[in-house]
Amino acid sequence: DIQMTQSPSSLSASVGDRVTITCRASQSIGRYLNWYQQRPGKAPTLLIHGASNLQSGVPSRFSGGRSGTDFTLTISSLQPEDFATYFCQESYTSVAGTFGQGTRLEIK
Amino acid sequence: QVQLVESGGGLVQPGGSLRLSCAASGFTFSDYYMIWIRQAPGKGLEWVSFISARSTNIYYTDSVKGRFTISRDDVQNSLYLQMNSLRADDTAIYYCARGWSAYTAIDGWGQGTTVTVSS
């Protein structure tokens, strides 16, 4: 099974900060990496698919990158509504591929 | 717009059964893979089961094999999850979700229905 390891598990930042979350796959998954945002008490929503493709309607301050089996989610300038938990997910094995454990982004 | 509305959750005793339903609208349901994903309290996301378009392929995570059954009704635009022999570690929010194909992202989620297994 593919393991997806996110870091950090939690992060404190301020409005306007630039933050980066990393997700590492245990084996090659090409660009089959997706990012989701989950606000408290809500269902997840898709932010980025295929490692770097912004989902329709998602603000351009979100971006995704890839270097080998390391993937990044960057928020260029944090807004109040961005404080949430972020999950990566590989879809190399299937549409229901393994999720990372999540990164909780909190207000400093 | 895409809508996925789950129902059927509740409190059930260990060993009991529940049937979750998901009503879909706003898209061509029959074209999509449909997935059940769960989230235990304070935990991450875990896929439970998914079913391909036209029910060609069905998969279950190991912990629910033999206990849960996924099905879909493409006329009623509905997805189901029959859960038998429920255990305490099945306690979670269960989300209905969709994906365009076998290896794409999950681009639509329901609001979730809560299943609590407790005596």
DSSP letters along B18-61, please?
A: EEEEEEEESS-GGGSEEEEEEE-TT---EEEEEE-GGG--EEE-
B103/A87 touch (CB, cutoff 8 Å), yes or no: no
Q: What percent of chain B has pLDDT over 90?
A: 97
Looking at the partner chain, which of A32, A43, A97 has a beta carbon nearest the beta carbon of B112? A43
Looking at the partner chain, which of A43, A91, A101 has a beta carbon nearest the beta carbon of B105? A91
- Strand ranges of the sheet holding A19-25, from the earlier edge strand across to the other edge: A4-7, A19-25, A70-75, A62-67
Size of interface A-B (CB pairs under 8 A): 66
Task: For B33-60, write each residue's pLDDT tens digit.
Answer: 999 999 999 999 999 999 999 999 999 9
Task: For A36-76, write each residue's pLDDT tens digit.
Answer: 999 999 999 999 999 999 999 999 999 999 999 999 999 99
For residue A1, give the nearest of A32, A23, A29 by alpha carbon: A29
pLDDT at A44: 97
Give yes or no for a cis peptide into B14 (omega within 30° of 0).
Answer: no
pLDDT at B102: 85
